[in-house]
Amino acid sequence: MTLLAFNTPISGMPGMSWPAMPSMEASTLLSVLYQLQQTDRLDPAQLESLQMQQLHGLFSHLFQHEPVYHARLTEVGFSPTKTLTPELFRSLPILSRAELQDMGEKAFCVNIPPEHGHVRKGMTSGSTGRALTYAKTGLADFLWNVITLREALLADWNFRGKLAVCRAGSKDGEHSSWGRPENIIFETGKASIRNIRTDLKDQARWLSAFGPDYLITNPTNLKALCEWYSTHGGWESQLKGIRTLGEVVSPELREMCQTVFNADLRDMYSAAEIGYIALQCPEHLHYHIMSEFVLVEVLDEDGMACNPGEIGKVVITSLHNFAMPLIRYSIGDYAEVGEPCPCGRGLPVLKKIMGRSRNLLTFPDGKKWWPTLPPKKYLHIAPIRQMQLVQKSLETIEVRLAVDAPLKSDQEEALTEALRNMLKYPFNLLFTYYPELEYGPNHKFDDFISEI
C-alpha cells in the first residue's frame, strides 16, 4: 500500500500544508490505516491471537449485558475471567442465515457502549427471497470507511481522478468530490453517480460524456456495459481501474474488461450485514480476508476447517459490531481456501468465491458443482441477449433465453450440445423464450439457479 504515492492528506491547520496536519477524523482514519499496513504482514497465528483478544472483549460485554448471548456463551463454558481459546471459540454453534432472520430484533443488542456511536438499521437485498434486517454501530460504519480506503490505496487509485459509480440504491447525481471517506483525508476529483437501474444506453452515454478514470459497479452491469461497447463502440475509455462488488466475478468478465476498457478489474467480497469480508490481492486474482475485522472460517460438511484447494461454507464472525453480533454466522456462500499468498501478506486467502448454494448444479449421482457458462462458448450459435439455466429436477434443466425470435431447430441442437459440454452431463434441456429476463434484487443476475 503506497499511502502517499498520489494522495497527500489535506492539512487542517492554517499555514501548515506540508507535512499535513489532518483533522481529528482524518487522523483517526489514518491511524487505523497505518496499523493495517503493519498487520497485513502478520502471520495467521498472530492474527488469530489478536482476533481472540478482540473477541474476548466483545464476548465479555455480551456475557454481562445481553441475556440471549449470555446463555449461548455460558453453554460453551465462556467466562470473562478466562482466556478465549480458538478451541472454545470453535465450539460455539453455527448461526444460519435463516436462524438469524427468525431471531429478528432479538439479534439486536440493547446495551451498546455509547462510544461506538449511533446505531442504524438496514435491510439486505433479499436475493434469496427473504430480506434480513441488520443493525450497525457508527464504529462499524467507520471501519467500513477504513477498508474502503485500504482497498483504493491497495489498488493505487489516485483520488484526484474522476470517479463513476453505478450501484443499487444510489441516487443519480454530479458531485465535486468523491465524498466520504476519501474526501475526509484527501483532495479528490469529481464523482458522478447513477442508479444501477439506469437504462444501459443511457449508462453508456453517461460514461462516454463523463470520461471517468475509475468505475465502481456490479459484475452483471459491468458485463452488460462491456457487451454494449464491444457492439456499439463510441467511447475511447481512459479507465485506470474498475472495482466490482456484490456478485461472483468470472474470468471471462476480467478478460472482457481488458479487451473493451484496457483496465484491470478488482473485486471485493462483502455483505451488507457484515461489511467487507475480503479484498482482491493487489498482485493476484485471489482474495485476502480482512482478518482485522472479520474472522472467516471455511468449513466442510462435517464442520471441519477446509484445507487449501477445498471448497466449503463461509462462516463469519464480525469482530466489532456490538449492535448485532454475528458469531459463527453461515452467510450462505461457498468459497475455496487458497494457499498462503506469495505477495507477503499474511492475511488468509480465499482462492475463489463460488456463490450460493442455490447456484449449485446437482448431478444425478448427487455430486454438486457451480457451473460456468462463458458466452464465448455459445454466442456463435445465435444472438442470445441473456441466458439463465434453472435446474428443475436431477435430469432436467430449463434454458431461459432472451432473444428476438425463438431459435431454429438446428440452433437449439447446437446449443444443447454446447450446454451439455459446459455442464459435463447430458441433461434434458427445455428451451423457453422471453423478450427480456428479469434481474434479481439490486440488479443481480444468476446464470444458474437450482430449484431442487
Considering only 36-44, 299-307, 338-346, 356-364, which stretch makes contact with Zn ion by CB under 5 A? Answer: 338-346
Considering only 53-61, 276-284, 384-392, 405-413, which stretch makes contact with Zn ion by CB under 5 A? Answer: 276-284
For the record, the C-alpha cell of 140 comes out as 462499524
Considering the complex, what minimum distance in angstroms separates the CB of residue 339 from Zn ion? 11
Q: How far apart are CA 61 and CA 63, in angstroms?
A: 5
**Which C-beta is closer to Zn ion: that of 282 or that of 374?**
282
Considering only 17-25, 149-157, 242-250, 341-349, which stretch makes contact with Zn ion by CB under 5 A? Answer: 341-349
**Which C-beta is closer to Zn ion: that of 320 or that of 345?**
345
Kindly state the number of chain residues that form the binding site for Zn ion, as judged by CB under 5 A.
4
Considering only 109-117, 216-224, 333-341, 378-386, which stretch makes contact with Zn ion by CB under 5 A? Answer: 333-341
- Does position 345 interact with Zn ion (CB under 5 A)? The reply is yes
Residues 341, 384, 402, 422: which binds Zn ion (CB under 5 A)?
Answer: 341
**Which C-beta is closer to Zn ion: that of 351 or that of 443?**
351
Q: How far apart are CA 138 and CA 114, in angstroms?
A: 10
**Which C-beta is closer to Zn ion: that of 165 or that of 347?**
347
**Which C-beta is closer to Zn ion: that of 311 or that of 343?**
343
Q: Which residues contact 206 (CB under 8 A, 6 or more apart)?
A: 164, 192, 194, 198
In Å, what is the CA distance from 191 to each residue of 81, 171, 183? 50, 12, 11
**Which C-beta is closer to Zn ion: that of 146 or that of 347?**
347
Site for Zn ion in 15-74 (CB under 5 A): none
Considering the complex, what minimum distance in angstroms separates the CB of residue 267 from Zn ion? 14
Contact predicate 11/17, CB 8 Å: yes
Q: How many CB atoms lie within 10 A of CB 171?
A: 7
Considering the complex, what minimum distance in angstroms separates the CB of residue 442 from Zn ion? 29
Considering only 22-30, 177-185, 277-285, 417-425, which stretch makes contact with Zn ion by CB under 5 A? Answer: 277-285
- At position 70, the amino acid (one-letter code) is H
Considering the complex, what minimum distance in angstroms separates the CB of residue 36 from Zn ion? 14
Considering the complex, what minimum distance in angstroms separates the CB of residue 263 from Zn ion? 20
Q: Spell out, one character per residue from 120 to 149, where the chain touches Zn ion: x when CB under 5 A holds, - when not.
A: ------------------------------
- At position 188, the amino acid (one-letter code) is T
Considering the complex, what minimum distance in angstroms separates the CB of residue 1 from Zn ion? 12
Phi, psi (5° rounding) for residue 151? -65, -50
Considering the complex, what minimum distance in angstroms separates the CB of residue 53 from Zn ion? 24
Considering the complex, what minimum distance in angstroms separates the CB of residue 155 from Zn ion? 13
**Which C-beta is closer to Zn ion: that of 57 or that of 282?**
282
Considering the complex, what minimum distance in angstroms separates the CB of residue 288 from Zn ion? 6
Q: First CA to last CA across the chain, in angstroms?
A: 45
Q: Which residues bind Zn ion (CB under 5 A)?
A: 281, 341, 343, 345
